[in-house]
Chains A and B, each alone.
Chain A
Amino acid sequence: MTSTTTTDRAPAPARTRTTARPRRGRRRLGSDTAPRPGMLYVLPAALFFGMFAIVPLVLVVVLSFTSWPGFGDPQFVGLDNWQRLTGDQRVINATRTTLLLTVLGWATQTPVSIAIGVWASGPQRNRAVLSSIFFLPLLLSSAAIALMYHRYLDPNFGLAKDLGPLIGFPDGNILGTRHGALGVLVFVGMWQWIPFHSLLYQAAARVIPQMLYDAARIDGASRWDMFWRITIPQLRHTIVTSSVIMVVGSLITFETVLLLTAGGPGTATQVLPYLMYRSGFFEFQMGYASAVATVLVVLGTTVSLVIVRFSGFAKMRSTLEGL
């Protein structure tokens, strides 16, 4: 991918333009004679990121080949940790749980976020008021939200006692069952993140040109058609951005699991980051934890690269091109 786009396409056909770009005849997109910023502009960010993110990342990979209880010197043990990891049922389970929660998270959050976002982008007054309320969960930290729900789910003194029976948990024992705990994590994820993603979609939906809808209505399209044929494609880039954020965020969800379920009941909700934390900081096997961490990083990186590459996001085309 390149940071400046020189496309091979023919210049845009002369349809109705919504931008007031002064016509200067046919132009190749991407060329202008303005001076370009040098690398000094990006140097601080690169250095900062390098020191606090890249270097530790390399160190983690190095540590994965050692055994280190957290004090003293790490001892090199070659591939021991990795051999153990490939056969470790806990890692396999944790990976499975992580992926499950990620997929469920995406499947529940994206449709609702799109729906709410598009709805909220409408001009009606009440929508603006309600949008303000929808924003409230974003004000709370992960820790606060996890603690709040943790209390609500107490089977004897929380909301779970009275509301549990209504959803099939007669003794309020929601967090104590595997399905209940997973369901809670999915629900809290929705509660916590849909406000953010719906904001993205709301902002994006707002700038979809009205004339697209007008033209479609003239052609006799139904609301359903318009949604699927206009709204969704126009939201394409937002869907990608939102999905990358969502998927990566799900993969690394840690605080919520730590404070809400502590990986339980038993090991039912042990996700990879939690397993990493537990092996490192509870079992004091930092080398092994580093191996798990490496797996997590590889997983997250692969997923985000795939999404980005697959969607052509990196080419940075504007959705307004061609209009």
Chain B
Amino acid sequence: MTAGATTTARPAPRRTTERPNWLAGVVATGWLVIIAVPILTMIGWSVTSEEDFLSFGPLAPPRDITFENFASVFELGFLRYFWNTLVVTVGSIVIALVIAVPAAYAIVRSNSWLASASFRAFLLGLAIPAQAVIIPLYLVITELGLFDTLIAVILPTVAFSLPLVILILSGALRDVPRDMYEAMTVDGAGSFRMLVNLVIPMSRGSISAVGIFVGLTAWNSFIFPLIFLRSEENRVVTLGLQQFRQEFGINMPGLMAAVLLSAVPVFLLYLFARRWLISGLAGVGGK
């Protein structure tokens, strides 16, 4: 048996002697254009002044770069929306992970009926659309006295991301070889120690991936804030964008500035967490 040729999560070197794949290259280039053009246009518009935009049309590159659009977006309270959205996002990520990781562990390893019943429920839950239960959810939230609070957005967001998160985590955990659990048992570990010292480290990549997934879901959520939030001071970025559409009217550059700003924090996160994300997804799709 070959002990050395292991498959790891790092990309294995291969295909260096093959002919370049022209077809794939063409598709990739085409796709690059499709992705890049709307984004470049958005950036271009956001630094064009409104008058220039109306005078020179949508396809003209910006003549004088201006940041007045961003200024007017901030004047409308964007900073406050950022903060609210950040609270919602961080809260959702942490609560989701704290609940989901042990649950995935239990689903893969536990013999209890609750674990397998829960797994079925989560699979079922994948298909529950948030809009469908929004009315009863509203009742639950108001009964708990949480209307117009950020918590009211966090809790359902977590609940609805649990199915996918647990699905992905349990998928990754499946491949933790059984003898590792055995090895730890020999060391005298109980199931909790195994969770902390084996399961979590082994699935670190997937945990960061689903954490980012939950974070993105929370950052971009729209329907829950739409129904559960009321006051201006609790408004989140997605609602702010909708409000901007009304405020800005035909002012395309202004709206694009708002859209761009709404993505900046996520973009920063992406710059820092990209490696985690990519390596984490290896645990998702590869098995």
Interface residues of A (CB under 8 A from B): 1-4, 14, 16-23, 29-39, 41-46, 48-57, 59-60, 63, 70, 112, 115-116, 118-123, 127, 130, 132-144, 147-152, 154, 157-159, 161-163, 191, 194-195, 199-204, 206-211, 213, 223, 235, 237-238, 241-242, 244-245, 248, 251-252, 254-255, 259, 273, 276-277, 280, 286, 289-290, 293-294, 296-297, 299-301, 303-305, 308, 314, 316, 318-320
Contacts and interface: CB of A to CB of B under 8 A. Distances in A.
Given A22-B179, A51-B140, A115 B131 contact: no
Nearest to B127: A300
Given A48-B162, A144-B263, A137 B281 contact: no
A300 B36 contact: no
Interface stretch (B62-70, B75-83, B96-104): B96-104
B107 A3 contact: yes
Contacts of A294: 132
B231 interface: no
A254 B32 CA distance: 27
A46 B159 CA distance: 10
A186 to B, nearest CB: 13
Contacts of A209: 5, 7, 12
Nearest to A3: B116
Contacts of B16: 123
Nearest to B130: A252
A162 B60 CA distance: 11
Interface string B18-57: 1001001101100110111011011000000000001001
Nearest 3 pairs between A and B by C-beta?
A141-B220, A204-B285, A300-B127
Given A161-B58, A304-B127, A297 B132 contact: yes
30 contacts: A3-B115, A14-B1, A17-B2, A44-B98, A48-B162, A52-B159, A53-B162, A59-B139, A118-B24, A123-B14, A127-B28, A130-B32, A137-B39, A138-B270, A143-B241, A150-B245, A154-B252, A157-B252, A159-B58, A162-B57, A162-B59, A200-B281, A200-B284, A203-B278, A206-B282, A241-B167, A254-B223, A273-B129, A318-B175, A319-B287
Give the one of A39, A210, A305 with max B CB within 10 A.
A39
Contacts of A235: 285
A277 to B, nearest CB: 6
B73 interface: no
B121 A60 contact: no
A130 B28 contact: yes
Contacts of A121: 11
Interface extent on B, as a size class?
Answer: 35 or more
B142 interface: no
Contacts of B156: 52
Given A137-B35, A204-B286, A20 B103 contact: no
Contact of A143 (B15, B18, B109, B220): B220
Contacts of A210: 12-14
A139 B103 contact: no
B59 A159 contact: yes
Contacts of B133: 53, 56-57, 59-60, 293
Contact of A148 (B42, B158, B220): B42
A203 B11 CA distance: 9
B286 A293 contact: no
B227 to A, nearest CB: 9
Contact of A23 (B1, B175, B177): B1
A205 B218 CA distance: 29
A133 B36 contact: yes
A150 B267 CA distance: 22
Q: Helix, strand, loop or mixed for chain A's interface?
A: helix
B181 A34 contact: yes
Contact of A204 (B58, B59, B266, B282): B282
Interface in B165-192: 166-168, 170-171, 174-175, 177-179, 181-182, 184-185, 189-192
B62 to A, nearest CB: 15
A301 B174 CA distance: 24
A175 to B, nearest CB: 15
B94 interface: no
B58 to A, nearest CB: 5
A49 B285 contact: no
A147 B249 CA distance: 12
B31 to A, nearest CB: 6
A320 B7 contact: yes
A191 B263 contact: no
B32 A133 contact: yes
Contacts of B87: none
Interface string B213-247: 00010011111000000000000011001100100
B162 A273 contact: no
A223 B223 CA distance: 46
